[in-house]
Structures are given as structure tokens and as C-alpha cells.
Amino acid sequence: MHSILIIGCGSIGERHLRCFQKTGRSTVSVCDANARLLEEVSRRYNAPAFGTLNEAMLAQRFDAWVICTPAHTHLSIARDGAAQGAALLIEKPLSVTLEGVEETREAIAKSGRFTAVAYVYHCFPWLVAAREFLQDGTYGRPLHVSVVAGQHFPTFRPAYRDIYYARHESGGGAIQDAITHIINAVEWLVGPVTRLFCDAAHQQLEGVTVEDTVNITARHGSLLASYAMTQFQAANEAIFEIHCEQGSVKIESHAQRWATMKLGGTEWTWHATKPLERDDLFIAQANAFLDGMEGKDCGLCTFDEAVQTLRCNRAALDSCATGLPILLS
Ligand SMILES: NC(=O)c1ccc[n+]([C@@H]2O[C@H](COP(=O)([O-])OP(=O)(O)OC[C@H]3O[C@@H](n4cnc5c(N)ncnc54)[C@H](O)[C@@H]3O)[C@@H](O)[C@H]2O)c1
């Protein structure tokens, strides 16, 4: 059994707690600065609780830390975890600026422990299957990607005004909180963004001023990509189209399916995957992380891949602020 410490047991921390417990491969403790929440979550899941990280560190050495606090705190907590010799699963986005990235990379290298970033799309079977198909090269080189995605965020996160989402400094807004998942997934499918232009605005969400709507046009090397997202729309959807030299691949993430169409074809051939609940994806991620800790291949987002996506988040915010395209490499 692996001993796991979940730091921050808010919305996603509670899910990680539940899903790590469900792996049957770990004992899970929780830490949160909010005493009332900590007490309630700890009681509900019968998990040992710590009000501060110091308390947790004094009590025992954990095999892994799962960092589920707001993004601006991720890197300093990660360095503390590395110094304790813990493996690290860090929630997305990795951080809100590049400050502290190098120190954290060094601390992780020194600890020698497995580290991953919880961009959970890496555990979506329909994305994994489409990625394998693209990498097999059956349709040749990918040349263009378009993604249209969004949801009615207030329906899924009614407390959005009162959490980290309300401010860029704590990882809020559609760029750092939502489209970052999509960009990371596309980088995983076709390689890193090398240049981007971003236009974004606050269009509708009440009680916040951060952007809820984003358009990005990007290059991933010679591949062209366009991304569109709103967080006020009725439909909860994410549709990816990847057009290659000899055919196209489509992923409907909300429908848990992907499709192919060879050049000359007229209809999509759909490939369904086993229907999954949201927790199933996080149980898969928890199991993949435990696999990684045990030295097995796991496919989770690496620290360096998350740094690259963090650079995209920053570039998107900077492009939006200046009205200029940003070169990433
Ligand atoms: N992968 C996903 O699908 C997904 C979904 C939601 C959130 N997230 C990410 O997870 C992170 C947390 O999001 P959330 O929605 O759970 O936020 P949240 O506000 O619901 O919970 C954060 C918790 O961290 C606690 N906390 C803050 N600083 C702390 C510290 N120093 N020590 C101990 N506890 C501390 C707070 O008291 C709070 O309970 C963010 O980075 C967010 O982007 C990822």
C-alpha cells in the first residue's frame, strides 16, 4: 500500500481522495487549511486529517503528495514534497507564472521521485486511442487541428465567484482553468505549441471579470490549430478535429467516442469506448500515478510537458493583453 497525502480537499481534492481510496492500492490522508471542511471530509471518508502541512510532515513520511490547492501555491508545495522524498501528483495548471519552475525541477531531480501533472485528459480512453492511431501514421502527418469546446461553468461550479477561478493570480479565468486542458491535450496529440495569438474576453459570467471566452490561433511547428471556448454556452461539449495528409480524425470527448474518415470517404467511422463515469477517469489517473511510482509506464502528463503548457497559458494571457502574437520557441 502506498501512503498518499492529499493537500487541499476542496472540489478536486475530495475527488482525488475518493478515487485514490477506490484503487485499493493506497492509504489516503488529507490536509486542508479550512478546518471545517477538513473535519467534514475526513469524517465522510474516514481519512486521517492534518490542519497544516507541518503537522502532516511531523506525523509521518508519505510516499506521495497530491497537490490540490490553487495553482499559485503548487510549486512551493511541490518543492516541500520533493524535499520530503515524496512522489508528486500536481493539479493543473502547474502554476500561474514561470517563477520557481527551475528550482522545482531541480528539487524533483534531487529527490528522484516520480512526478506527474494531473491533466486528466491523458486518461480519457477515446483520446488515448485517437493518439495511438495518429502516432501509427495511417493517415500521414497531421496538418491542421480545430477544437470547439465549452460548457455552462456556473452549472458545474456554482461557487466559481468565491474560489480561485475569480482571479488570474490564483489560476482563474478560462485560459488558465479550462482551455489549458485542451491545449495540453492537443500538445500531447501533435506536439508543442510554438506560436500563438489569443483573443479573449469576459462575455457573460456574473460576479467575475476574468475571461470566460477564448479564441486562440496557434502553430504547433508547421501544424496550424484553432481553439474556441466559452464557459457560458448551453452545450457541454469538446470536439477535436485533426486533419492529416490522408484522412481526418475526430474526437467527441463529451460523447466518449472518436472517429476516422479516410480521404475520399463521406462518413465518419465511429469508435466507441466503454462508457465511463467521471470518477472512473480519476480512478484511472490515480492507478496510472501509482503505476508511475512503481516505475511502470503510465502516460500521465510529465512535469516538462506541463511547463510547456504553462508557457502557453502565459503566452495566451500576454497575447490577449498586448494584441500581439507570441513566439514560444
Ligand atoms: N483536473 C481537473 O479536472 C480539475 C478540476 C477542478 C480543479 N482543478 C485544479 O485543482 C486545484 C484546486 O481546485 P479546486 O476546485 O479543488 O479548489 P477549491 O477552492 O475547491 O479547493 C482548494 C482547497 O485548498 C485549500 N488550501 C489552499 N491553500 C492551502 C494550503 N497551503 N494548505 C492546505 N490547504 C490549502 C483550501 O482551503 C481549499 O479547501 C486548482 O489548481 C484547479 O485548477 C482541476
Grid cell for residue 185: 491535450
Peptide bond into 158 cis (omega under 30): no
pTM of the entire structure? 0.97
Q: Are the beta carbons of 242 and 145 closer than 8 angstroms?
A: yes
Q: Are the beta carbons of 218 and 226 closer than 8 angstroms?
A: yes
The pick from 55, 91, 127 for probing ligand 1's pocket by mutation, whose C-beta has the most ligand atoms within 8 angstroms, reads: 91
Contacts of 287 (CB under 8 A, 6+ apart): 23, 25
Half-sphere exposure of residue 321, counting CA atoms within 13 Å on the CB side?
9
Atom nearest to 31 CA in ligand 1: 33
Question: In this predicted model, what pLDDT tens digit does every residue of 51-87 receive, in sequence order?
Answer: 999 999 999 999 999 999 999 999 999 999 999 999 9
The pick from 16, 38, 55, 68 for probing ligand 1's pocket by mutation, whose C-beta has the most ligand atoms within 8 angstroms, reads: 68
With a pLDDT cut of 90, the percent of the chain lying above it is 98
What is the 115 CA–ligand 1 centroid distance (Å)?
A: 18
Question: In this predicted model, what pLDDT tens digit does every residue of 213-239 receive, in sequence order?
Answer: 999 999 999 999 999 999 999 999 999
Q: Is residue 11 in contact with ligand 1, taking CB distance under 6 Å?
A: yes
Report which residue type is found at 312: C
Q: State the Cα–Cα distance between residues 293 and 52, nearest whole angstrom.
A: 25
- State the pLDDT at residue 298: 94
Q: Is residue 82 in contact with ligand 1, taking CB distance under 6 Å?
A: no
Is the pLDDT assigned to residue 135 strictly greater than 80?
yes
Q: State the Cα–Cα distance between residues 262 and 63, nearest whole angstrom.
A: 47
Question: In this predicted model, what pLDDT tens digit does every residue of 179-190 receive, in sequence order?
Answer: 999 999 999 999
Atom nearest to 159 CA in ligand 1: 20
Q: State the Cα–Cα distance between residues 149 and 240, nearest whole angstrom.
A: 8
Q: Is residue 14 in contact with ligand 1, taking CB distance under 6 Å?
A: no
What is the 32 CA–ligand 1 centroid distance (Å)?
A: 10
pLDDT band at 292 (very low <50, low <70, confident <90, very high): very high
- State the pLDDT at residue 287: 98
The pick from 6, 15, 69, 75 for probing ligand 1's pocket by mutation, whose C-beta has the most ligand atoms within 8 angstroms, reads: 69
Question: Cell 502547474 appears where?
Answer: 94
Contacts of 36 (CB under 8 A, 6+ apart): none
Question: In this predicted model, what pLDDT tens digit does every residue of 300-316 receive, in sequence order?
Answer: 999 999 999 999 999 99
Q: Is residue 172 in contact with ligand 1, taking CB distance under 6 Å?
A: no
Q: Is residue 34 in contact with ligand 1, taking CB distance under 6 Å?
A: yes
Q: Are the beta carbons of 240 and 250 closer than 8 angstroms?
A: yes
Mean of all residue pLDDT scores within the chain: 97
What's the whole-number mean pLDDT along residues 125-129? Answer: 97
What is the 163 CA–ligand 1 centroid distance (Å)?
A: 9
The 3-state secondary structure of the chain reads CEEEEEECCCHHHHHHHHHHHHHCCEEEEEECCCHHHHHHHHHHHCCCEECCHHHHHHHCCCCEEEECCCHHHHHHHHHHHHHCCCEEEECCCCCCCCCCHHHHHHHHHHHCCCEEECCHHHHCHHHHHHHHHHHHCCCCCEEEEEEEEEEEHHHHCCCHHHCHHHCHHHCCHHHHHHHHHHHHHHHHHHCCCCEEEEEEECCCCCCCCCCCEEEEEEEECCEEEEEEEECEEEEEEEEEEEEECCEEEEEEHHHCEEEEEECCCCCCEEEECCCCCHHHHHHHHHHHHHHHHCCCCCCCECHHHHHHHHHHHHHHHHHHHHCCCEECC
What's the whole-number mean pLDDT along residues 45-56? Answer: 97
Q: Is residue 192 in contact with ligand 1, taking CB distance under 6 Å?
A: no
What is the 164 CA–ligand 1 centroid distance (Å)?
A: 8
Q: Which among 278, 292, 301 has a CA at the least distance from the CA of 122?
A: 301
Q: Are the beta carbons of 257 and 272 closer than 8 angstroms?
A: yes
All domains of the chain in start order, with CATH: 2-118 (3.40.50.720), 121-275+301-327 (3.30.360.10)
